[in-house]
Amino acid sequence: MEEKTVLNPIHREMGARMVPFGGWEMPIHYGSQIEEHHAVRRDAGMFDICHMTAVDIRGPGATPFLRHLLANDVARLKSPGKALYSCMLNEAGGVIDDLITYRMDDHWYRMVVNAATTEKDLAWLKRQAAGFEVSIEPRRDLGMIAVQGPNAREKALPLLPQPLQEAAAGLKPFSATSSGEWFVGRTGYTGEDGFEIMLRADEAPTLWQALAGAGVRPCGLGARDTLRLEAGMNLYGADMDETVSPLEAGLGWTLDFSDAQRDFIGRQALEEQKREGRLRRFTGLVLEGKCVLRNHQKLYDGDNEVGEITSGGFSPTLERAIGLARVRGDALDTLEVDIRGRRLPVRLVKPPFVRQGKACITL
């Protein structure tokens, strides 16, 4: 039985097509995935992300605990409200989850973890917390709505509680503010500006309907995936997992080795991988022709298999097939993809493909 968020009755009223996703029943689209995608790139769209879990980490040991737990360093968060994207690794350097952590004050951080990995993440957090003065509280009482697009902030701000409006209007990217149970972060997963809003779960339907009334278009998982792919953002379970290190998932920029004394989980394995070399390269792809790229399609240099697509799809903004892939470090910038027995040329490019509505690559 798939779990349902508090917004599921509204999704059905709006004619959403519902699908299972990570143990949840979620909307994949409300009639047109393409139109929802364009709404986010050109105006404003919203996503039900109530299936994701906020986890509050509190206590005098919160900072040293997170400096040990995460591959990126929360010591970089110099003031309350700042956010940090990081991977949480196992001892072998594989990715248990990728997540955002907000510093709320000296003894309180809020982490947002992926829906499909929540129970695994919580077990890992509690196991690693031994010896640190911290409490770990999953906030299952909260709901989350992402509002994304060039007009998203303008449309969402008047619907926030009065005490939050001024602070939220002044937020810089990758920062957050809170008032009571309301929490607003200027973050997202689409390559557009906007907010991710947390509030009491039972208040989420009222906010959703108010946003719809303000002209924010409901969007499903289909548009969320094409938007994040265009933005070159990794999807856990596709582009990385516990068998893949951030060094081979295009996430080397999230690793902070600057403090030689910080022994974060997985550091030794990552340093050994760097010394050994032979790392696979994570790259973007553009198909030179008419077809669609899909996950797990094989990539070739002549007769030699050199990699595999990890995320593939059609870009509504570029009107081209694009993908993310992991290839051998010595792979050429022009390869071939095997699509049902046919070899078609692909060009390797540096992601992102699209940000803030604009193409970032040469077509």
Q: pLDDT tens-digit profile of 287-335? A: 998 999 999 999 999 999 999 999 999 999 999 999 999 999 999 899 9
Chain segment 146-165, per-residue pLDDT in tens: 999 999 999 999 999 999 99
68 within 8 A of 263, measured Cβ to Cβ: yes
Q: Residue 349 half-sphere exposure, CB side, CA atoms within 13 Å?
A: 21
- Let me know if residue 21 belongs to a domain: yes
Distance CA 222, CA 361 (A): 23
Q: Which two tokens stand for residue 345?
A: 């040329």
284 and 204 both lie in a single domain: no
Total domain count for the chain? 2
154 and 289 both lie in a single domain: no
Question: 294 is in which domain, residue-wise?
Answer: 280-363
* Domain end marker among 170, 201, 230: 230
- Let me know if residue 145 belongs to a domain: yes
Residue 166 scores a pLDDT above 90: yes
284 and 159 both lie in a single domain: no
218 and 295 both lie in a single domain: no
Distance CA 76, CA 282 (A): 26
pTM comes to 0.97
148 and 222 both lie in a single domain: yes
- Let me know if residue 325 belongs to a domain: yes
* Domain end marker among 190, 215, 230: 230
Distance CA 16, CA 32 (A): 10
Residue 196 scores a pLDDT above 90: yes
207 and 306 both lie in a single domain: no
